[in-house]
A and B are shown apart, each in its own frame.
Chain A
Amino acid sequence: MAKMKRDRHPMPLLDAAVRVNRFDEVALGYTLEMAIEEAQRCLKCKNPTCEIGCPVQSPVKDFVALLAEGKVAESVKRLREVNRLPAICGRVCPQEEQCESKCVMGVKFEPVAIGRLERFVADWERQHGFGELEPVASRGVKVAVVGAGPAGLTCAGDLAALGYQVTVFEALHAAGGVLMYGIPEFRLPKEIVETDVRRLEEMGVEFRYNVLVGRTVTIDDLMEKDGYSAVFIGTGAGLPKFMGIPGENYSGVYSANEFLTRINLLRAYKFPEYDTPLKVGKRVAVIGAGNTAMDSVRTALRVGAEQAMIVYRRTEHEMTARREEFEHAEEEGVQFNFLTNPVEILANEDGWVTGLKCVKMELGEPDESGRRKPVTVKGSEFVMPVDTVIMALGTTPNPILLRTTPGLQSNKWGCVVADPETGATTRPGVFAGGDAVTGAATVILAMGAGQKAARAIHEYLEKQAAVHA
Chain B
Amino acid sequence: MYRILKMRQLTPVTRLYVVDAPLVARSAQPGQFIILRVGATGERIPITITDFDREAGTVTIVVQEVGKTTKWLAQLGEGDYIHDFAGPLGSPVELPAQGRVALVGGGFGTGAILTIAKALHGRPGITVDAIVGARNQDLLILADEVSANVDRFLACTDDGSYGYKGFVTGVLQEKIKAEEGYDLVIAVGPMPMMRAVAEVTRPYAIYTLASMDPIMLDGTGMCGACRVRVGGENRFACVDGPCFDAHKVDFEEVTRRTKMYKAEEKAALEHFEHQHEHEHECQCKKTAAVR
B-binding residues in A (CB < 8 A) = 171-173, 181, 209-212, 215-218, 221, 236, 238-240, 242, 248-249, 251-252, 254-255, 257-258, 261-262, 266-267, 271-279, 350-351, 398-400
Contacts and interface: CB of A to CB of B under 8 A. Distances in A.
A168 B86 CA distance: 15
A275 to B, nearest CB: 4
B223 A351 contact: no
A277 B261 contact: yes
B239 A400 contact: yes
B218 A277 contact: no
A242 B224 contact: yes
Interface in B228-248: 229, 234, 236, 239
Interface residues of B, number: 45
Contact of B224 (A257, A267, A278, A351): A257
Contacts of B83: 173
Given A255-B224, A351-B256, A279 B264 contact: yes
B15 interface: no
B41 to A, nearest CB: 5
B220 A251 contact: no
Interface string B241-279: 000000000000100110111001101100110000000
19 contacts: A173-B44, A181-B218, A181-B222, A210-B85, A215-B89, A217-B26, A238-B222, A239-B221, A239-B224, A239-B236, A249-B227, A249-B257, A258-B217, A258-B223, A261-B218, A267-B41, A272-B272, A276-B43, A279-B264
A212 B224 contact: no
A95 to B, nearest CB: 28
B216 to A, nearest CB: 10
Interface in B78-108: 83-89
- State the 7 A-B residue pairs at the shortest beta-carbon distance, nearest first: A277-B264, A210-B86, A255-B224, A275-B43, A240-B224, A258-B223, A272-B271
Given A272-B271, A351-B256, A399-B239, 14 more contacts: A173-B37, A215-B27, A217-B23, A218-B27, A221-B26, A221-B27, A236-B222, A238-B222, A257-B224, A258-B224, A261-B218, A272-B264, A277-B264, A279-B264
Nearest to A257: B223
Nearest to A210: B86
Interface string B14-57: 00000000011011000010000100011110000000000000
Nearest to A350: B256
Residue among A221, A275, A278, A351 having the largest count of chain B Cβ atoms under 10 Å: A275
A136 to B, nearest CB: 28
Contacts of A274: 41-43
Given A242-B224, A255-B223, A400-B220, A215 B87 contact: yes
A328 to B, nearest CB: 25
A208 B99 CA distance: 42
Given A210-B86, A258-B223, A273-B41, A239 B239 contact: yes
